[in-house]
């Protein structure tokens, strides 16, 4: 699900979500500029823009979507606080997707020229390397897991992932404000919006979840976890 993400997590267990510890990206913050704020539905970078730096999310939430030449759009990332935006742009020096705020957000820029130019920044480079390596690996396993999940498990996994991220950030892990629309969730999980809707109402009926607008309450973490483990291919 979440490929290019912060590096906080280490990969001891399959589905491990780890305590914040000290974010590896923290080293970069030396180079960071002051925070700035963007209103809801603002565009941070456009697909194809020349790469000028990484962004770290301070608060709020953003989405990244990729437009294909056939016109179809695919939503590839949700960025939460402490996430790094733009790691996928380093390679070809071009932002690979359009990043938009889905609620008022505060970010800071890390100009990449500084990283490129700095002479003896092996430590930072190694951290970036590790960050990217983790991102690549996690993103991959995540998506492959989704591929082998039935849609119910996909939704459950998504909610649990969000829950764990919120906990990492110090919020409650049971009460979530998810500012994205159900359609965006559907697109992100590669399913029809109707299916998402059906699954969510079904989870509510089974007493595992409770939803009110954009407020989600995971009533039964244990049960949700069990559902998220379900896999295709007996």
DSSP run (H or E) holding 9: none
The CA-CA-CA angle for residues 160, 29, 163, to 5°, reads 10
DSSP run (H or E) holding 233: none
Q: Which of 70, 72, 76 is nearest to 98 (CA)?
A: 76
- Partner whose footprint covers residue 16, from a copy of itself, DNA, none (CB < 5 to 8 Å by kind): none
Phi first, then psi: give them for residue 171, nearest 5 degrees: -95, 175
Give min distance, CB of 191 to a copy of itself, in A. Answer: 8
- Partner whose footprint covers residue 72, from a copy of itself, DNA, none (CB < 5 to 8 Å by kind): a copy of itself
Nearer to DNA, 129 or 190 (CB): 190
d(CA 108, CA 58): 7
d(CA 231, CA 208): 19
- Partner whose footprint covers residue 19, from a copy of itself, DNA, none (CB < 5 to 8 Å by kind): none
Whether the CB-CB separation of 61 and 105 falls below 8 Å is answered with yes
Give min distance, CB of 53 to a copy of itself, in A. Answer: 13
71 binds a copy of itself (CB under 8 A): no
Per-residue interface string for the shown chain with a copy of itself, residues 15-54, x marking contact by CB under 8 A: ----------------------------------------
The CA-CA-CA angle for residues 225, 73, 111, to 5°, reads 85
Give min distance, CB of 57 to a copy of itself, in A. Answer: 18
Can you give the binding site for DNA, defined by CB under 7 A?
Answer: 150-152, 181-183, 190-198, 200-201, 211, 213, 232-234
Nearer to DNA, 32 or 157 (CB): 157
- Partner whose footprint covers residue 198, from a copy of itself, DNA, none (CB < 5 to 8 Å by kind): DNA
d(CA 144, CA 171): 28
d(CA 190, CA 152): 12
Give min distance, CB of 131 to DNA, in A. Answer: 32
CA 232 centroid distance within chain: 24
Binding residues for a copy of itself, rule: CB under 8 A, are 3-4, 7, 10-11, 13-14, 66, 68-70, 72, 74, 76, 87-92, 94, 96, 116, 119-122, 125-126, 128-137, 139-141, 143-148, 190, 192, 229, 231-233
């Amino acid at each position: 699900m979440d490929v290019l993400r912060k590096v906080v997590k280490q990969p001891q267990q399959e589905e491990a979500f780890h305590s914040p510890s000290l974010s590896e990206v923290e080293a970069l913050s030396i180079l960071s500029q002051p925070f700035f704020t963007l209103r809801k539905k603002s565009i941070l970078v456009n697909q194809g823009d020349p790469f000028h730096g990484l962004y770290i999310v301070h608060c709020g939430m953003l989405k990244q979507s990729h437009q294909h030449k056939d016109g179809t759009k695919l939503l590839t990332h949700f960025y939460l606080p402490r996430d790094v935006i733009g790691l996928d742009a380093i390679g070809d020096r071009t932002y690979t997707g359009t990043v938009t705020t889905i609620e008022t957000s505060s970010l800071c820029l890390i100009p990449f020229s500084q990283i490129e130019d700095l002479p003896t920044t092996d430590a930072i480079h190694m951290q970036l390397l590790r960050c990217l390596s983790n991102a690549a690996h996690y993103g991959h396993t995540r998506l492959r897991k989704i591929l082998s999940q039935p849609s119910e498990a996909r939704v459950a996994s998504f909610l649990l992932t969000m829950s764990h991220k919120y906990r990492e950030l110090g919020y409650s892990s049971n009460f979530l404000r998810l500012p994205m629309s159900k359609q965006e969730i559907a697109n992100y999980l590669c399913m029809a919006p109707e299916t998402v809707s059906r699954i969510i109402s079904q989870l509510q009926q089974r007493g595992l979840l409770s939803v009110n607008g954009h407020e989600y309450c995971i009533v039964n973490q244990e049960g949700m976890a069990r559902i998220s483990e379900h896999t295709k291919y007996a």
